[in-house]
Amino acid sequence: MKLYFEAAKFVDNDKGSLKNRVFNSKLSNSPKHVYALVISTLKYKEHIDTIIRKSRLKDVPQLKKLKVSDALLSLLVQDFLFSPKGRIQSGKHPIKEAFLLNKTRMQAELTKLKLKHKVKSVAELPLKEGFDDDETPVRWIRVNTLKTTPESLMKNAFFSKLTEVGSIEDLTSPGLIFKDKIIQNLYGLHPREKITGTQAYTHGEIIIQDRASCFPAEILNNDPSDVHVNVIDATAAPGNKTTHAASFATKNDGLVYAFERDSKRVNTLKMMCQRATGKARKNLIQAVHADFTTVNPTDFPSVTGIIVDPSCSGSGIFGRAIEDANANEQSKEETDETRLQKLAGFQFKIMKHALSFPKAHKVVYSTCSIHPHENERVVVDLLSDPEVKKAGWKLAPRDVVISSWPRRGWEEEFTSLSEDGEIRKQYAGGCVRAVPKEDGGIGFFAACFVRDKQ
């Protein structure tokens, strides 16, 4: 509950910049986490107030007795109904218990609110002016070619009404669509386009997936002479990259193994894979609840391509997703530097395991972090590792790593590998980076490791 008590101080107090006030206060919780919670509450305040009013929360005797303030109530409603996790971030507490006694009423009011605004998800609810800035600049959708084709999708009732524009900057309102020039079968829409209510979405014909998050499967398969049909997604849930990789693996008895360590997330992964493949291709993806680092590489003699998108700091994520990314971290009292180093150690370990699969000749590493610790530095450590070197792994040349994407790895991070500027540029060319918002979505990093086919 401490998180909510601390955050409550900022909800109704609008004296000066919220960011400055939160980050300059002495808090026992992470300021980043408090800020994300408050900003999201303010963003949905109008809807939160409606739910509090209609479900008569302020009249609930148990909450009155506990003297729950309006600000605290708003924060609780935000986390319970509007956050990606949909839960109260606290252990047992009388306020939490009294609040949750009313969950059915609150959920019913949220359903009514969504019906009123004709939306399926809270992310599509109209917002108070000024809060749109926290949203993604573009809603990216990938056509799921396991179920349909872009041509037939564009003929359906929803898509045929959209007007095509030439750049993401032209996506100034709903009703417009942009065909991406970098990723095949990817389209950009205005973030307020009501996409989750369409049949195409509910039938799994389109998948909402950020453009940069499509880089790994695209990098793995964008050489037509080297398309991977036996693939591993080492860290798979919720499964966006898995289903994308599967869309390339449809020939010659293709099979994608998707590993996930977390017992809850593996269920989401399975659901997402079933929805994307449908009954016709139900054997294309094998979702496995396991820690990838414990999997024996020799049990997978046909796997040629691997995607490793491990847990990371999530520093490239913004808006609503930030809460999701930080939710597991907030109790840890670690400095950012210590945390980044721990993450980098885990990222190195899991990548090194991926690089030990006997027939693998292409491994794509990615994070949604902007920190070099988790990106170029992990790559440098792997390239310097004697076993990795002995196994013949190198960083791929730029021409096979989405060469038209202008933002590459940071050259200066490769200094320990070479003093020659040209060589450092080649290393950086084997990596891509995306800057949050500026590049049309989340911050991202990907690097492609290759070796001769064995």
324 annotated as a binding-site residue: no
Q: Which is nearer to ligand SAM, 79 or 309 (CB)?
A: 309
Q: Which is nearer to ligand SAM, 198 or 213 (CB)?
A: 213
Residues that bind ligand SAM (CB under 6 A): 213, 235-241, 259-262, 265, 291-293, 309-311, 350
Q: Measure the CA–CA gap between 428 and 30, rounded to whole angstroms.
A: 33
> Do residues 223 and 196 touch, judged by C-beta distance below 8 A?
no
Residue 99 belongs to what H/E stretch? helix 94-100
Q: Measure the CA–CA gap between 308 and 279, rounded to whole angstroms.
A: 27
Q: Which is nearer to ligand SAM, 258 or 450 (CB)?
A: 258
Ramachandran angles phi, psi of 177, nearest 5°: -145, 145
| DSSP symbol at 83 | S
Of 204, 216, 231, 351, the residue nearest 302 (C-alpha): 231
Q: Which is nearer to ligand SAM, 165 or 295 (CB)?
A: 295
Region label for 26, one of left (φ > 0), alpha (ψ between -120 and 50) or beta (otherwise): beta
- The residue with tokens 């989340």 is 442
| Cα of 361 vs its chain's centroid, Å | 26
Residue 305 belongs to what H/E stretch? strand 305-308
Strand order in the sheet with 176-179: 163-165, 176-179, 186-189, 139-143, 206-208
Output the furthest CA–CA distance in the chain (Å, rounded).
Answer: 72
Burial class (CB in 10 A: 0-12, 13-18, 19+), 56: exposed
Q: CA 382, 383, 388 angle in degrees (round to 5)?
A: 70
Concatenated DSSP letters for 165-226?
A: ESSGGG--STTEEEE-SSSTTEEEE-TT---TTSHHHHTTSEEE--TGGGHHHHHHH-STT-
Q: Measure the CA–CA gap between 417 and 424, rounded to whole angstroms.
A: 8
Report the catalytic residues: 368
Tokens of 452: 């001769």
253 annotated as a binding-site residue: no
291 annotated as a binding-site residue: yes
Q: Which is nearer to ligand SAM, 36 or 269 (CB)?
A: 269
Residue nearest to ligand SAM (CB): 235
Of 241, 242, 267, the residue nearest 255 (C-alpha): 242
Q: Which is nearer to ligand SAM, 106 or 214 (CB)?
A: 214
Residues of the binding site: 260, 291, 309
Residues of the binding site for S-adenosyl-L-methionine: 260, 291, 309
